[in-house]
């Protein structure tokens, strides 16, 4: 009995040792994963435009200043023609409509377009004299480059086709009236592009301040200089000023600087209405007054006035002193 107990005890110890040798410790907990990296996307210019591109400043109306601002009707029509010319040369990838329309416009509205061109030439000659041709060529270059801005072509071509269709369906006599509206319509895609580019510059500046500490980015390029301003409308050849009031119509001629009255030897006096003109015959004449030495209008002589004799010194009357009663 005693031997069996000792044997069983030894077996138990051996079993515990075997079990301890076969057991393995639990694996360590997995390491904490790193935080998720959120990629920061650097803003890019709209419509694949170049970085650091200069855009115009805004005018007092909040629109970007271009060479199409504040132009006359003749200049507006000529700028519309230049815009559609740019479309005819640059919109072939979107079809031949713009080119075909432009050729039709030259045939349908040729006389009016030539008259507008002559008017613009006259404006430049009056404003710039001998430098008129160079001044106009500089403005034409600015306008052509404006409408040929590559990032905007795909937005500009559909608008140019729409304006070309409107122009073809409009009588020639109405072109000058509609030209400013069409010019604003043609400029709209460029105004929208400039606004999008300005927003891109704002977002780029924000990205630079947060994530671009080691990157140098130009977030505020130099704005474009103001475009040349077209001259105002000059009067056509043979123009004469029209009187705006009866006062201007009856004013003395400009050569009479002294304002003297120029009249014939006799002036007919119109009879007055009613009894006021009963004593004045209708054939009465008024003789002109002789001109004065100073050139001023001389009226009738003033009636003679008797002036006091101031040759003697003034006399002072002496007043007696009042008595005091003493």
- Name the domain count of the chain: 1
Mean pLDDT computed over every residue of the chain: 77
Within a domain: 145: yes
- To which H or E segment does residue 141 belong? helix 132-147
pLDDT band at 22 (very low <50, low <70, confident <90, very high): low
pLDDT for residue 152 is more than 90: yes
pLDDT tens for 78-121 read 999 999 999 999 999 999 999 999 999 999 999 999 999 999 99
Within a domain: 48: no
- Give the 3-state secondary structure of 42-78: CCCCHHHCCCCCCCCCECCCCCECCCCCCCCHHHHHH
Domain that holds residue 179: 65-192
Question: ∠ CA(51), CA(54), CA(60), 5° rounding?
Answer: 140
pLDDT at position 221, please? 74
Within a domain: 225: no
pLDDT for residue 163 is more than 90: yes
pLDDT at position 209, please? 82
**In this structure, are residues 203 and 220 in contact, taking their beta carbons and an 8 Å threshold?**
no
pLDDT tens for 216-244 read 666 667 788 888 888 888 877 766 555 44
Within a domain: 54: no
Average pLDDT of the residues in 129-156 = 95
pLDDT for residue 122 is more than 80: yes
pLDDT for residue 14 is more than 60: no
* Residue-wise DSSP of 108-129: HSHHHHHHHHHHHHHHHHHHHG
Within a domain: 207: no
**In this structure, are residues 46 and 200 in contact, taking their beta carbons and an 8 Å threshold?**
yes
Higher pLDDT, 41 or 286: 41
Within a domain: 92: yes
pLDDT at position 223, please? 81
Is pTM beyond 0.75? Reply is no
Within a domain: 256: no
Within a domain: 1: no
Total residue count of the chain as it appears in this document: 326
């Amino acid at each position: 009995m005693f031997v069996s107990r000792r044997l069983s005890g030894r077996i138990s110890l051996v079993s515990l040792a075997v079990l301890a040798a076969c057991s393995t410790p639990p694996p360590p907990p997995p390491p904490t994963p790193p935080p998720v990296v959120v990629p920061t996307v650097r803003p890019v210019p709209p419509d694949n435009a170049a970085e650091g591109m200069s855009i115009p400043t805004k005018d007092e109306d909040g629109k970007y200043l271009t060479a199409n601002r504040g132009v006359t009707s003749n200049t507006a029509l000529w700028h519309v023609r230049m815009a559609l010319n740019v479309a005819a040369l640059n919109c072939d990838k979107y079809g031949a409509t713009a080119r075909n329309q432009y050729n039709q416009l030259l045939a349908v509205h040729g006389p009016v377009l030539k008259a507008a061109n002559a008017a613009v030439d006259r404006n430049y000659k009056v404003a710039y004299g001998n430098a008129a041709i160079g001044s106009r060529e500089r403005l034409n270059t600015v306008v052509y480059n404006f409408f040929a801005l590559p990032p905007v072509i795909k937005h500009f071509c559909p608008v140019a086709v729409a304006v070309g269709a409107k122009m073809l369906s409009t009588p020639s006599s109405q072109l000058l009236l509609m030209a400013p509206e069409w010019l604003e319509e043609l400029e709209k895609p460029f105004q929208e592009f400039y606004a999008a580019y300005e927003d891109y510059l704002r977002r780029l500046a924000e990205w630079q301040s947060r994530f671009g500490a080691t990157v140098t980015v130009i977030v505020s390029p130099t704005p474009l200089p103001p475009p040349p301003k077209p001259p105002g409308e000059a009067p056509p050849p043979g123009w004469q000023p029209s009187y705006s009031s009866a006062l201007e119509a009856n004013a003395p001629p400009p050569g009479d600087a002294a304002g003297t009255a120029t009249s014939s030897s006799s002036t007919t006096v119109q009879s007055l209405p009613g009894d006021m003109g009963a004593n004045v015959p209708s054939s009465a004449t008024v003789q002109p007054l002789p001109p004065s030495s100073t050139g001023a209008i001389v009226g009738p002589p003033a009636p003679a006035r008797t002036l006091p004799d101031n040759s003697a010194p003034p006399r002072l009357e002496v007043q007696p002193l009042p008595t005091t009663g003493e």
